[in-house]
Amino acid sequence: MNITVIGTGYVGLVSGVCYARLGHQVICVDKEPGKIALLNAGGIPIYEPGLKELAEAGREAGKLSFTTNLQDAVKRSEFIILAVGTPSLPSGAANLAYIEQAAMEVAAAMDGYKMIAVKSTVPVGTNERLAELIRSRSDQPFDSISLPEFLREGSAIQDTLYPDRIVIGADSKHAADKLVELHRPLTEHMIVTDIRSAEMIKYASNAFLATKISFINEIANICEKVGADVTEVAYGMGCDSRIGSSFLKAGIGYGGSCFPKDTSALIQIAGNVDYEFKLLRSVVEVNQDQRFNIIRKLKMIFGGELAGKRIAVWGLAFKPNTDDVRDSPALDIIQYLADNGVQVTAYDPIAAPNFKSLLNREGIVWCGDAASAAKDADALCLLTEWEEFGSFDLALLQRLMKRPILIDGRNVFKEEHLLGTDFVYYSVGRPSLNQGVKEQMPVLQFHS
Ligand code: UGA
């Protein structure tokens, strides 16, 4: 099939590269000439494992090309995918200006029947609104399809080539059949539904995953008070197939470009139809607070006084294997520390340049490796579970630091790592692993 993908962000670029991998003829379009020049020169504007190699293979096979010329790309394709950004407006609602603009440009370029799919995450009803826009600007025939995307940053290629399911929202049987055929090599698990339900499936999925995370984080906070271990609890819960084991890792809360944006948007979507999504509001609130547990633990250790301390931070990205720092909990944590007179020594294997573009101020020292960040630090906070942190020798870490104080925001270390060290160690929801903090098991009060 001849496919045009509009927008070369995570979703657009990964989708385009993967369709080319399936043998289709793919043109990726972006407005930014610099981005297209980089892609044409074999570069990749984002860090995503395996993407560069797959893009190169697609280009070499003559299956994948990059251009700023939307008009020409649309004319040469029967299937058009809109994958431009839908960032949050200050109200929390999704900003649809870019996708509307793209739809109008597609309409202006159409010279015959097209299938037009939206892969961007858009509020319920948007596909219909875009279809009206196109219809008002073109008399060419077309079918609208909602084709939500479920890839995760850091494992985007794997998620796209081996999806759990493909959701196709379409009113036209012809378009639905064509898209089922297109995706058949990826999975047999295809959900063909109406457009509005497909749009909702995307938001509901992200909101539910965010809910699982906030739920387990609250359980972790309670575990800390009652002397239970959240990793054991999550394992025990996850063995129930009705619950499932994924997205039950306690930590410092979710970040990234999707969960924060999509949860806010869904609250707005509900609000627009006079429904208060109370549960999701709490999920967002819990998530926003969870990151500050790091600060609370530091304050407890230092008797409330953080000013003048040197505190190392390992990990700036919102999760490992990506250089994305959008809505990363590290932003709020480091901002708070720097605001309160702490000297922060920060290290991330790849995300520091992006982080600096959002937060770069006095009080933050950028370090080239994990050891330099830890050197002479009064405490170390692990905020992203990059593999290199988990394999760092804790005896060496202790020697590097001024004081062996480790706040593990992602439960990376296990008891055996800590054996033979003098670390004051706090993680999330695992009070039995706390070391160097001679806490008694809490005496539980029972009220009849
Ligand atoms: C998320 C969804 O997982 C994808 O299915 C979806 O396609 C994507 O959003 C999107 O809408 O585009 P992503 O944001 O890339 O993907 O990353 P996740 O792996 O979902 O992680 C999100 C955040 O949750 C991270 O900050 C991670 O550290 C946190 N998390 C995840 C936890 O704190 N605990 C967990 O158990 C899992």
Q: pLDDT tens across 148-171, in order?
A: 999 999 999 999 999 999 999 999
Q: What is the mean pLDDT of residues 276-298?
A: 97
Active-site annotation holds for 258: yes
**3-class DSSP assignment, residue 344:** strand
φ, ψ for residue 84 (rounded to 5)? -90, 165
Q: What tokens appear for 18 in the block?
A: 């993967």
Q: How far apart are CA 261 and CA 86, in angstroms?
A: 9
pLDDT digits (tens, 9 = 90+) for 30-60: 999 999 999 999 999 988 999 999 999 999 9
Predicted pLDDT of residue 93: 81
Catalogue the E-assigned strands of 110-246: 114-118, 142-146, 166-170, 190-193
Predicted pLDDT of residue 86: 87
Nearest atom (ligand 1) to Cα of 213: 34
Percent of the chain at pLDDT above 70? 97
Out of 47, 166, 201, 258, give the residue to mutate to test ligand 1, the one with the largest number of ligand atoms within 8 Å of its CB: 258
Predicted pLDDT of residue 348: 98
Out of 209, 217, 221, give the residue to mutate to test ligand 1, the one with the largest number of ligand atoms within 8 Å of its CB: 209
pLDDT digits (tens, 9 = 90+) for 317-375: 999 999 999 999 999 999 999 999 999 999 999 999 999 999 999 999 999 999 999 99
Q: What tokens appear for 152 in the block?
A: 């995760």
Query: Rounded to the nearest 5 degrees, what angle is found at the Cα of 99, between the Cα atoms of 129 and 322?
Result: 135
Helical axes 278-290 vs 195-226, angle rounded to 10° = 50
pLDDT band at 140 (very low <50, low <70, confident <90, very high): very high
Task: Classify domain 291-440 by CATH architecture.
Answer: 3-Layer(aba) Sandwich (3.40)
**3-class DSSP assignment, residue 117:** strand
Q: How far apart are CA 232 and CA 249, in angstroms?
A: 11
Average pLDDT, the chain: 94
Q: How far apart are CA 67 and CA 440, in angstroms?
A: 64
For 193, 204, 296, the CA distances from 201, given in Å and listed in that order, are: 10, 5, 37
Predicted pLDDT of residue 395: 94
Q: What tokens appear for 85 in the block?
A: 């950004």
DSSP label of 349: S
CA 176 to ligand 1 center in whole angstroms: 28
**b/e map 39-77, b = 16+ CB within 10 Å:** beeeebbbbbeebeebbeebbeeebbbbbeebeebbeeb
Q: What tokens appear for 133 in the block?
A: 């826009």
pLDDT band at 286 (very low <50, low <70, confident <90, very high): very high
What CATH code would you report for 2-193? 3.40.50.720
pLDDT band at 438 (very low <50, low <70, confident <90, very high): low
CA 152 to ligand 1 center in whole angstroms: 6
Q: How far apart are CA 217 and CA 290, in angstroms?
A: 7
Cross-strand bridge partners of residue 106: none
Name the CA dihedral angle for 115, 121, 123, 129, rounded to a multiple of 10 degrees.
-30
Nearest CA to ligand 1 atom 1: 152
Predicted pLDDT of residue 437: 59
Per CATH, domain 202-289 is 3.40.50.12500 = no
Domains 202-289 and 291-440 share a fold: no
Q: What is the mean pLDDT of residues 172-198?
A: 97
Nearest CA to ligand 1 atom 28: 319
Q: What is the mean pLDDT of residues 120-147?
A: 95
Catalytic-role residue among 18, 28, 258, 381: 258
Predicted pLDDT of residue 445: 66
Alpha helices in 65-155 (DSSP H): 70-75, 97-109, 126-137
**pLDDT surpassing 90 at residue 431:** no
- Ligand 1 pocket member 145 (CB < 6 A): no
pLDDT band at 87 (very low <50, low <70, confident <90, very high): confident
Nearest CA to ligand 1 atom 19: 152
pLDDT band at 441 (very low <50, low <70, confident <90, very high): low
> What are the domain boundaries of the chain?
2-193, 202-289, 291-440
- Ligand 1 pocket member 410 (CB < 6 A): no
Which long-range contacts does 438-441 make (Cβ < 8 Å, 24+ apart)?
Answer: 441/227
For 173, 178, 198, 315, the CA distances from 194, given in Å and listed in that order, are: 11, 15, 6, 42
**pLDDT surpassing 90 at residue 436:** no
